[in-house]
Amino acid sequence: MSFENIYRISGSAMTAQTIRLNTIASNLANIDSPAASAAAVYKTRSPLFSAVYLREGRKYRQGVSGAQVRVLDIVETGNAVQRYEPNHPLANEQGYVFYSDVNVVEQMADMTSAQRSFETNIEVLNSIKSMQKSVLKLGEP
């Protein structure tokens, strides 16, 4: 495996973690977003990732020359939570307003995991950079 492949894998993993962090931020920002109906409520979003194997710059189902992490989809899950707030402008006829069921603890744990994965890939890139410098020093007189 060449240095270029390692850069590609690590870089795509960092991009994936950035997408993961952005979806978590969106989930946390919309925790208390009210809606007039259960269908309109914000649902928890999670990216769905896949490894894409590469061979000589083309996509293959299997291979060892390189890989990238790709986002296949952003999946929405969750149910609406009803709160009785008859004076709210979005309340229905029964006085209920709908809110998202985003789990703050779960999102914070996922955010910590994404941050650590991102940091690990930075360490990989720094290690490769150090290895390349060492290889270049071997050729010095």
pLDDT at 59 over 60: no
- Average pLDDT for 19-41: 95
Domain count for the chain: 1
Q: Which helix (H) or strand (E) holds 18?
A: helix 3-29
pLDDT at 3 over 90: no
pLDDT at 132 over 80: yes
C-alpha radius of gyration, the chain, whole number: 22
pLDDT at 61 over 80: no
Query: How many Å apart are CA 62 and CA 86, to the nearest integer?
Result: 57
Domain limits at 31?
3-138
pLDDT recorded at residue 58: 55
The set of residues, in sequence order, having a beta carbon less than 8 Å from that of 79 and lying 6+ positions away, is 38, 101
pTM above 0.85, yes or no: no
Q: Cα dist. 117→15, 20, 35 in Å?
A: 11, 11, 34
- Of all residues in the chain, the percent with pLDDT exceeding 70 is 90
| Per-residue pLDDT band at 63 (split at 50, 70, 90) | very low
